[in-house]
Structures are given as C-alpha cells and as structure tokens.
C-alpha cells in the first residue's frame, strides 16, 4: 500500500509529522501481526514542494520533529500564486505518475495543498484532505480559494470540527457514495500532546531571550511570564501598508508597558523593509521564526497571544492562553464562541481595547476543547478500512 503525502509550508510539516508518526506506529503493529495477511505495510512517499525553504521555515521542523526525509523535493520556491502553483503541478504530476500511489494526502489550505489535490485528481488518484471544511467566507484570502477547491476535489475529507462538517454539507459535500466525510479532530492537537513535555524540557527560547518563567510552585507548565507573543503573516495584513503599520503601532504601544515577542515570518520582514517601517520600542523583541518546540514554549508562557495565524489561534485555545486575532473573521469559530479568542482586526484602537479586555479578565482561560488527541490514528484507520479503486 502506497500513500503519497504533499507538504510545502511550515504548518504542513507539523501536521504531516503527526500522521507520519501514526503510520509508523501502525506499521510496527502490522509487523508484529505479520501472520495476518491483511495487515499490509503502508509505504509513505513524502513529496516536498519547496514552498518554504529558509532553514527556520523548513529544515528545523524535519530535524526537531523527526519527520522522514522527503523522497522528492520539487524546489519550487517563492513566486506569484499562479506561477508557484503551476510549477508545483508540473512537478507533482511527474512524481505521482511515476509512483502511482493508492491515495494522495494534502493538508490545510496553502498553494501546496491545492497543487497536490489538483495533480492527484487529474490522475484519478483519491485525494485525502486533512483539515477539510474550514471556511472564512472571505474569497479575498488565497487560502479560502485553496480550501474550497481542495474540498471539492477530495474523496476523503477529514474535518477537525462539527462546524467544518456543516460547512461542507452546505456545499453539497457529505458522507456517502463515493465520499468519506468525517470529523476526526485536529492533528495539530495530537502534535501538542506529543511535544508539550519535550517543549518544557528542551526549548531554550525563553532563557535565550532573558524571559525565564517565574516559579509559581505549580511546575513550569502553569507559570506565566510577563510578555505578549505576536505572529503576523497573512497577505491581507502584510501586503497593505496601512494595516501593517496599524498593527505594528499597536504592538509598539503595548510594548511600552509589557514586552512583546514577535517571531517574524520572512514575508512580513520583507514587507516591513519594503515599506520602510520601523519599530519604536526596544521592548518589542523582534526575532527570527522559531522552531516548533520553542514556539510551544513561547505560547504556553505568554500573557496573551496576538496573531493572524490559523494554527496559532488553535494552539492558544488548547493551551488556555487568551488570543486576539488580527483578522476580521476566523475559520476557527469555536475558539471565539467559547470566549478564548477575540477578533480585533488590524485597527490599532480595537487591538488595544482587546488587550484591555484581556487585562480585565473578561476572557475565559480554560481548556474547553473537545479534542481527544487521536485524530491521526483515526485518519490512518479510516483510510485502511476504505475500499480504494486504483485506476
């Protein structure tokens, strides 16, 4: 049995790591039960499009999360949406034609996701979409186009939430017939569970930055250092000078009272340079992107998180850290409904009001997640039990 996995961007390395681990665990079990002929080994063929390529956006995750080396690296790199997706398609088609896998797994909503789904569907290979059904209902986001198209091309749609199952139903995509649509939970939660302790033990970022957790007597997991954590990379925020300036001014303002740590995505760094923007406050600690373990550590100990990242919103919620989302809408509506996340957009005053509401503790700070931490295992089992019609 051969399963191809397509990855290319930072969050996909983290998501794919969970599933690769579940595949490896299942293969070990199959080896122990090898007298049962039905328990065939799953061969995973990992294809890296090369969408992300800086060491801190790419290799560091393979090393730290022990992700198997990619079998193919397409080296596509950065380009406009059309050009980047087209280059991926060309490379992926060649690899998939050569490998003829039983199915092709794609994650999330990046250009690598869409290219993987389209290349596979055109070759009549079943597409498996992990994180299916998410919608912001904002077609100006490149990610929304990628999600919608990928879902419509997919045979297996693994949804993280009830809302995502409902979103698909509204578009006529539901379980039954040729399709499997099922809520399995979130593979990123599996990842937090797996790496949380390791982050506590190994991540050095707080020490390196001089923000050691204060001892609270309850163990390092429950301490809170005095800083805000921010991440910023959405095109709608970075590619609009006014919005970017407004967000950075808010962070600058906040940093006058409480330090702000900002691990900067290369896209944002380039835009800040191109627009000639500067940071005013020294207490705004702008750093390079960090590894996953360092990021978990930063998230766990933050007073609050400000972000436009999808993954970081969820992680804040699961870790019980209040989150302000620097967007007008979110796909992760449950985090807002359960009062762990507040949408504040890019307006400086609204962001600062949001910070105030955190300080006044109008926020729920509990882990009300319904996650079980077995999403990856459920995906593997569902795929194994499906009847695949190989063309």
Question: Cα separation of 374 and 193, whole Å?
Answer: 10
Question: Cα separation of 269 and 288, whole Å?
Answer: 9
On whether the CB atoms of residues 341 and 155 are closer than 8 A, the answer is no
| Residue 267 within binding range of ligand UD1, rule CB under 6 A | yes
Closer to ligand UD1 by CB, 24 or 235: give it: 235
The closest of 120, 130, 62 to 93, measured between CA atoms, is 120
On whether the CB atoms of residues 290 and 308 are closer than 8 A, the answer is no
Look up residue 24 and give its two tokens. Answer: 């490896």
Interactions with ligand UD1, residue window 221-240 (CB under 6 A):
233
* Residues in contact with ligand UD1, shown as a per-residue x/- string from 39 to 78 under the rule CB under 6 A: ------------xxxx--x--------------------x
Look up residue 148 and give its two tokens. Answer: 């919608």
Q: Is 233 a catalytic residue?
A: yes
Burial (0-12, 13-18, 19+ Cβ within 10 Å), 115: buried
Look up residue 65 and give its two tokens. Answer: 């999360």
The closest of 343, 324, 350, 346 to 246, measured between CA atoms, is 346
Closer to ligand UD1 by CB, 64 or 143: give it: 143
Which residue among 213, 289, 322, 345 contacts ligand UDP (CB under 6 A)? 289
Given ligand UD1, ligand UDP, none, residue 52, with its beta carbon under 5 to 8 Å by kind, binds ligand UD1
Catalytic residue among 52, 233, 265, 301: 233
Q: How far is the CB of 10 from ligand UDP (least distance, A)?
A: 4
Which residue among 10, 21, 129, 147 contacts ligand UDP (CB under 6 A)? 10
Given ligand UDP, ligand UD1, none, residue 190, with its beta carbon under 5 to 8 Å by kind, binds none
Burial (0-12, 13-18, 19+ Cβ within 10 Å), 29: exposed
| Residue 142 within binding range of ligand UD1, rule CB under 6 A | yes
* Residues in contact with ligand UDP, shown as a per-residue x/- string from 192 to 231 under the rule CB under 6 A: ---------------------------------------x
Q: How far is the CB of 301 from ligand UDP (least distance, A)?
A: 14
Closer to ligand UD1 by CB, 10 or 348: give it: 10
Question: Cα separation of 249 and 244, whole Å?
Answer: 9
Instruction: Point out which residues bind ligand UDP (CB under 6 A).
Output: 10-11, 14, 231, 263, 289-290, 292, 295, 309-312, 315
């Amino acid at each position: 049995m051969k399963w191809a996995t397509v990855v290319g961007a930072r969050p996909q390395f983290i998501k794919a790591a969970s599933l690769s681990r579940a595949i490896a665990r299942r293969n070990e079990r199959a080896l122990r039960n090898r007298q049962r002929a039905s328990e065939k080994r799953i061969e995973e063929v990992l294809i890296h499009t090369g969408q992300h390529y800086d060491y801190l956006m790419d290799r560091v995750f393979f090393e730290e999360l022990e992700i198997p080396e990619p079998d193919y690296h397409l080296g596509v790199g950065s380009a406009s949406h059309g050009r980047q997706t087209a280059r991926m398609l060309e490379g992926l088609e060649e690899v998939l034609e050569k490998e003829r896998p039983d199915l092709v797994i794609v994650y999330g909503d990046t250009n690598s996701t869409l290219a993987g789904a389209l290349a596979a569907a055109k070759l009549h290979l079943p597409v498996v979409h992990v994180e299916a059904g998410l919608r912001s209902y904002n077609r100006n986001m490149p990610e929304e186009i990628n999600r919608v198209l990928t879902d419509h091309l997919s045979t297996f749609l693994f949804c993280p939430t009830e809302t995502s199952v409902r979103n698909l139903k509204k578009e006529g995509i539901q379980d039954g017939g040729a399709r499997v649509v099922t809520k399995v939970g979130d593979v990123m939660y599996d990842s937090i569970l797996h790496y949380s302790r390791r982050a506590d033990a190994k991540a050095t970022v707080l020490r390196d930055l001089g923000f050691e957790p204060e001892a609270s007597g309850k163990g390092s997991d429950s301490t809170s250092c005095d800083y805000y954590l921010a991440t910023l990379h959405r095109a709608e925020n970075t590619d609009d000078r006014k919005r970017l300036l407004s967000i950075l001014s808010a962070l600058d303002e906040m940093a006058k009272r409480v330090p702000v740590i900002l691990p900067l995505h290369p896209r944002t760094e380039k835009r800040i340079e191109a627009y000639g923007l500067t940071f005013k406050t020294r207490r705004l600690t702008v750093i390079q992107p960090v590894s996953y373990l360092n990021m978990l550590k930063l998230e766990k100990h933050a007073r609050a998180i400000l972000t436009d990242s999808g993954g970081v919103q969820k992680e804040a919620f699961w870790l019980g850290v209040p989150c302000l989302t620097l967007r007008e809408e979110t796909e992760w509506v449950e985090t807002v409904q359960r009062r762990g996340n507040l949408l504040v957009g890019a307006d400086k005053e609204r962001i600062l009001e949001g910070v105030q509401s955190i300080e006044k503790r109008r926020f729920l700070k509990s882990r009300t997640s319904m996650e079980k931490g077995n999403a990856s295992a459920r995906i593997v089992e569902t795929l194994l039990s499906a009847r695949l019609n190989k063309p």
